[in-house]
Amino acid sequence: MYKAVRKFGQKAVSGVVFVIASASTASPQEPVQAKQAEAAYRAGSAAVARGDLQTALADFRQAVRLDPSPTALHSALGFVLLKLGNAQESVPEFQQVLRKNPADVGAGSNLALAYEQLGQPEKVVEVLARLNKVERAEKRVLPASTSALYARALAATHQIPAAITQMRTAVSADPHDAGLLDDLGSLYAMQQDWPNAERNFRAALSSDHAMASAHLHLGLALAAQQRPEGKDELAAAYRLAPENPIVDLEYGRSLAGAGDDDHAIPVLEKANELPRHPMEVTYQLALALQRAGRTDEAVPLYETVSAAEPENADVLTNLGMALCQQKNAEAALPLLQKAVSLSPKNVTAREDLAAASIQLNQFDDAVVQLRAAMVLDPDSPQLHYNLGVAYKLKDDAADAIAEYEQAEKLDPHQPEAVYALGMLYMQSGRYEEASRELKAALAMQPKNGDGWATLGSVYSKLSQLVDAEAALRMAIAQLPGQPEPHLTLAAVLVKQGKPDQAAVERKTAADLMRSTMNRQRAEVATHSGESLLKSGDLAGAIVQFNGALTFDPAYRDAHAGLAKVYEAQGRSAEAAAERSKMVATTP
């Protein structure tokens, strides 16, 4: 897919041909009116010369009314109409010229330009093919601007090789025109002929090094070949044309593609604020925000794109997943169902629909979607893992184990499937297999305190006490505030004949349980104090906050609550003291 800063080869209307006729336009039949027509024509030509197109239009209309036979009058009237943006009215004027003189290059070129402005490339091709045939018969070539116009129309009608031929003709006529070189490069890029595309883009930049579109197109061509210097060209285009939404889009997309969403987001945000920016800018911004974890900002952008493109399955899929990330699966479900109906072979849409179904506890529906996705992509380890999760939530351990095993077989380096399989083996009493899988998972992700605790328990059941002790000490190092690993370790130490060490572990576990209970009591008392504070009962709030601190003197929220009460009572010094205690405590 190839995008341009401007529409391919788009030129200003200044390409319209207008020449003041040197011969008299008078006809012998009506000499008086003919002379008046010629005077009006010359007045109109003078108005064109000074840029007064409205006066010129009135003069040329009068000339045509007085004497409709001379082709120069119709060419002039068509020219001004086209220049004023009225392509539709200009068409019959140029057609009349060509009926009398099919070889009139100016009228033919202007008629083709009018058809281009009207969005009728097929008619452009028809007009210029005929004109080109006439010129070739006379051993002449079309002017560079007309050849470029012809090439644009051929490209718009999907005749790329013929378009390249015509654009090369244009470049041959004007080899230093940066715009023509850029257009020729774009045509080669459409055919993925990257060497010729790159050569012409670089030639365009040699003629005009500040041409943003050539930098952009060269950057895209290099990126398509996965050449890293492409990003430098896109950055150059952005520096030259920071207010061009297409440049912003492609530069932002390149940053995002390199994993740099932090820098891509401001570029895309700016583009999204520009008038008449393409909807793709909004979509790419939403994607970047979602990847950056800013889902709440992404959702309204997705909704804007979805409203403009209601049948876009990819947009619906991403919007649905964003809503699931907001824990709003109920709103996501119909969007994802529509995405699947629009694109039944879209694996991601089915995966996301399954995720929404799981959030809504509709596990059977999730299984259906994941199985359908697996038909499309049977060798996806992620699909097998996700299906295993769905079966596990259905309490179907046998099918869950089968899917986790398949996921591990397809990708033995995926720690999630290996760990889940180990947990299910343990729950099923298959301790040897559980120890093998848990050990493999922890080798890939060693910072998993719960995993080490579970492995320690499994080793204990297998009477592998040395390994059990080592695993449990790893768990304790990573979960210093949890009592359970200490209790399990105490049991292992007893089996090893180490009663004194076991007693130390049991005492530590008891202290942690007491601390946890006190923290919970402090939390309850603090919530009560905050409620009383809101209702204006300052005395009652003080009692509750002080009560919380008797359970846990380091409970930050209780100190913060006391500071608020003292501040409300005008006891500034005591409020400051409480804030100091709050800062001194460890979160």
Neighbouring C-beta atoms of residue 307, cutoff 10 Å: 10
Place of tokens 């299984």: 367
Residue spans of the chain under pLDDT 50: 1-15, 19-26, 29
d(Cα 533, Cα 144) in Å, to the nearest integer?
82
- What confidence score (pLDDT) does residue 14 get? 39
Nearest to 374 by CA among 394, 345, 402: 345
- What confidence score (pLDDT) does residue 125 get? 96
User: Is residue 453 within 8 Å of 441, Cβ to Cβ?
Assistant: no
User: Is residue 230 within 8 Å of 223, Cβ to Cβ?
Assistant: yes
Neighbouring C-beta atoms of residue 197, cutoff 10 Å: 26
SS3 525: helix
Q: Residue 206 contacts by C-beta under 8 Å, 6 or more apart in sequence?
A: none
SS3 492: helix
Burial bucket for residue 30 (CB in 10 Å: 0-12, 13-18, 19+): middle
User: What's the topology of domain 516-587?
Assistant: 1.25.40
Question: Distance between terminal CA atoms of the chain?
Answer: 52
User: Is residue 451 within 8 Å of 439, Cβ to Cβ?
Assistant: no
Place of tokens 């601390």: 515
d(Cα 363, Cα 391) in Å, to the nearest integer?
8
Amino acid at 353: L
- What confidence score (pLDDT) does residue 17 get? 52
- What confidence score (pLDDT) does residue 138 get? 86
User: Is residue 407 within 8 Å of 381, Cβ to Cβ?
Assistant: yes
Q: Where are the beta strands (DSSP E) in 140-235?
A: none
How do the domains of the chain map onto residue ranges?
Answer: 13-174, 242-309, 516-587
Nearest to 393 by CA among 418, 365, 419, 413: 365
d(Cα 525, Cα 556) in Å, to the nearest integer?
13
- What confidence score (pLDDT) does residue 584 get? 73
CA triple 23-26-30, angle to 5 deg:
170
d(Cα 470, Cα 455) in Å, to the nearest integer?
10
pTM of the model: 0.74
H-helix or E-strand containing 407?
helix 397-410
CATH of domain 13-174: 1.25.40.10
User: Is residue 444 within 8 Å of 418, Cβ to Cβ?
Assistant: yes
d(Cα 544, Cα 523) in Å, to the nearest integer?
10
SS3 36: helix
In CATH terms, are 13-174 and 516-587 the same topology? yes
The CATH class given to the 242-309 domain equals mainly alpha
CA triple 289-374-314, angle to 5 deg:
30
Using H for helix, E for strand and C for coil, what is the string for 49-94? Answer: HCCCHHHHHHHHHHHHHHCCCCHHHHHHHHHHHHHCCCHHHHHHHH
d(Cα 403, Cα 409) in Å, to the nearest integer?
10
d(Cα 147, Cα 150) in Å, to the nearest integer?
5
Amino acid at 396: D
SS3 141: coil
Burial bucket for residue 311 (CB in 10 Å: 0-12, 13-18, 19+): exposed
> Could you tell me the two tokens for 366?
């999730």
User: Is residue 512 within 8 Å of 482, Cβ to Cβ?
Assistant: yes
